[in-house]
Every structure is written in structure tokens, then in C-alpha cells.
Amino acid sequence: MAYPFKKILCPIDFDENSIAALDAAAEIARQSDATVEVLHVVPIIMQASGMPIYVDVYTQQEKDSQAKLVELARTHLAGLKYKLDTSVAEPWAAILHAQKADGADVIVMSTHGRRGLSHFFLGSVAERVVREATCPVLTIRGHHAAEQTASAQA
């Protein structure tokens, strides 16, 4: 778990903030000859009845996500060692499971910087991961999130 990191876990959801986190993970990997594991989690959607939607619904989403990961790796991870993975689960649980299963030295992930009611209702995956991870977690707050906070405060 000491620096230089050798295994970097970077969960992404394909938004601008997570791409910024992927770029940060790539930079760390370049400096320390590390492997980047890029993980996309297709969140489980619960019906009003409390039952999850049938698993086959997620099959196409996983295939689409894998194709997006391959494209991101081509454009953002050129020349680096990397692993691409998708999962259907609760995002925070899948991230923590991947960290422990693959022995990541550090997690580099984005945060959306939600506050108030949106944070209360939507929760924070990053916050949960920071609290429960057994390795350091570097959170990246992308340019888009900083702009939203600035405009909300104005």
C-alpha cells in the first residue's frame, strides 16, 4: 500500500468528472509504472415493490459499457497497463469488492460534489467508499462539478 502505487482502481460512470479521475489515475500510473483497473458499475434499479429488475435487462448495458471502456482505454490509457471490468451491483459495494479482490493500492474516483437535498436523496458513492476502503482514496472533483457549485453559490 506504499507509494509508488502498483495497482490503481478507477471506477467511472462515463461523465466528465469520472473522465477527469481516469486522467488522474493514468498520470499516477505513468509516474509509478502501475496498472490501472477501470471499473464501470451498472447500478441495480429497484422497483417500487422493492424487488430488483430482472437481470437480463442489464446484459445489453454491460455490453455497451464494455465497448465504452475499450474506447476510453484506447484514448486515455495508451501505453499503460490496464484492466477493464464491468459489474451489475450497488456502485459502492462493487468498488469496495474490486478493491479487496484485486488488491488495489489506491482508488482514484470522481465526486459529484452534491450538497443538501440531492446529497441526502442520492447519497454519495465516494463518501461511502472513502469511509470503508482499506486503501487510500483520491477523490477528483471535476471541472463541471466546480462550475455547478460556483453557480449555485452566486
> Which three cell numbers mark 80?
499503460
Q: Domain for residue 72, yes or no?
A: yes
Strands in the chain per DSSP E: 7-12, 35-43, 81-89, 106-111, 137-141
Q: What is the pLDDT of residue 119?
A: 45
pLDDT at 112: 73
58 assigned to some structural domain? yes
Range of the domain at 74: 7-153
Please name the residues in contact with 30: beta carbons below 8 A apart, sequence gap of 6 or more. Answer: 79, 80
Judge residue 10's burial from the number of C-beta atoms within 10 Å of its C-beta, 0-12 exposed, 13-18 middle, 19 or more buried: buried
Tell me how many domains the chain contains.
1
pLDDT confidence of residue 59: 82
Q: What is the pLDDT of residue 148?
A: 46
User: In this structure, is residue 123 part of a structural domain?
Assistant: yes
Q: What is the pLDDT of residue 49?
A: 63
Asked whether the beta carbons of 10 and 21 are under 8 A apart, the reply is yes
Cis peptide before 52 (omega within 30 of 0): no
Amino acid 114: pLDDT: 56
pLDDT of residue 82: 97
Q: Is residue 2 part of a domain?
A: no
Coil, strand, or helix at residue 84? strand
Structural domain contains residue 108? yes
Q: Cell digits for 17? A: 468528472
The answer to whether residue 41 is domain-embedded is yes
- What is the domain-level CATH number for residue 113? 3.40.50.620
Specify the pLDDT at position 4. 84
Q: What phi and psi values does residue 63 have, to the nearest 5 degrees?
A: -65, -45
Report the predicted TM-score, pTM, of the whole model to 2 decimal places.
0.82
Pairing between β-strand 106-111 and β-strand 137-141 as defined by DSSP bridges:
parallel
Q: What is the mean pLDDT of each run of 10 residues along the chain (154 residues)?
A: 85 94 96 96 72 68 93 96 94 96 96 57 77 94 52 46
Is 1 within a domain?
no
Residue-level pLDDT at 52: 58
